[in-house]
Amino acid sequence: MDGILPLWKPQGMTSHDCVFKIRKILKMKKVGHTGTLDPDVTGVLPICLGKATKVAEYITNAGKEYVGEVTIGYSTATEDASGEVIDEKTIQKPIDRNQIIETLNSLKGEIQQTPPMYSAVKVNGKRLYEYARKGIEVERPTRAVNIYDIELLDDRTIFTGKTISFRFRVKCSKGTYIRTLAVTIGEKLGYPAHMSFLTRISSGSFTKDDCLTFSDIENSMEEGTLEHKILPIERGLFYLPKLMINDTLAEKVFNGAVLPKDDTWIYGNQEVAFIYQNQVIAIYKIHPEKPHLIKPVKVLSN
């Protein structure tokens, strides 16, 4: 079984838990996920099966879209609702809608983020959450991420209360921490804050409408219809240029051959999906040391 199974991840499971459960249901080992979601977070989690595991990184690298909620008035150690409160500040005066919209708009484009201590980012071979659980603070790498779009999902004109919560929708690049984004929104408004809710509504080209629940998957297995619901590998590579190839060239590609770059190569330094008989069989790019040649990045069939 090869292809992409878009899962609607339930609350209370890690992404690894989801992979483990699908391995058991499908009775297959070659299963991988495409981007970690925290246990408290629900949403779109494309699962790669068989040969599709070779392109998991391409789905991970595609943009994501979330609906999140920020609660302003106190922050937590984990930057989400599950963590211990570490700072509080009562909101003394109402916050105007325009002030929130201006704050969100100021975050569009490339921003710098420092991953939270409770995260899976590795420092010196260990994940940050391993240090955090032992109470060890380590220097974390700041990195650039992109906020493609962000909008307020709340009709109020004035926000009042000792704490204030509102939801927002955000389209962003790989590696963006929405928890950290929520903290930043609070800081820009002058208060400690945390992320109080999060769901991923799309990952690459996959949306909630594509997704199956675990119940759907189990029922489809019993009915023998699951294969019809698994999406082709090409869906995960939607943003790569495609090149249709003939039988003669396909034979070389199947063997991972380095090929001459001829006049049909109009893709510059982009990676290109080679399509044979309506299926992607490899991904090629210009050879880094021999620009007159193209070389395989991935060969999916052999």
Cα separation of 167 and 154, whole Å?
A: 6
Task: Indicate the domain borders of the chain.
Answer: 3-62+204-236, 65-196, 240-299
Q: Name, in order, each residue with C-beta under 8 angstroms of 88's C-beta and a sequence gap of 6 or more.
A: 73, 74, 75, 192
Look at residue 244 in the predicted model and tell me its pLDDT.
92
pTM comes to 0.89
- Is domain 240-299 in CATH 3.30.420.40, yes or no? no
Look at residue 58 in the predicted model and tell me its pLDDT.
93
Per-residue pLDDT of the chain (302 residues; tens, 9 = 90+): 899 999 999 999 999 999 999 999 999 999 999 888 888 999 999 999 999 999 999 998 988 999 999 999 999 988 999 888 999 999 989 999 999 999 999 999 999 987 766 666 676 667 666 766 777 677 767 889 999 999 999 999 999 999 999 999 999 998 899 999 999 999 999 999 999 999 999 999 999 999 999 999 999 999 999 999 999 999 999 999 999 999 999 999 999 999 999 888 899 999 999 999 999 999 999 999 999 999 999 999 75
240-299 shares the fold of 65-196: no
| Beta strand ranges found along 60-192 (DSSP E) | 64-72, 74-76, 85-88, 95-96, 109-113, 122-123, 126-127, 143-152, 158-159, 164-172
Residue type, 40: D
Question: Which fold is adopted by the domain 3-62+204-236?
Answer: Pseudouridine synthase (3.30.2350)
Cα separation of 173 and 185, whole Å?
A: 18
Q: Reply yes or no on whether 38 is catalytic.
A: yes
Identify the CA nearest to 69 among candidates 239, 159, 183. Answer: 183
Tell me which CATH code domain 65-196 carries: 3.30.2350.10
Catalytic residue (choose from 2, 38, 80, 210): 38
Cα separation of 51 and 31, whole Å?
A: 9
Cα separation of 78 and 98, whole Å?
A: 29
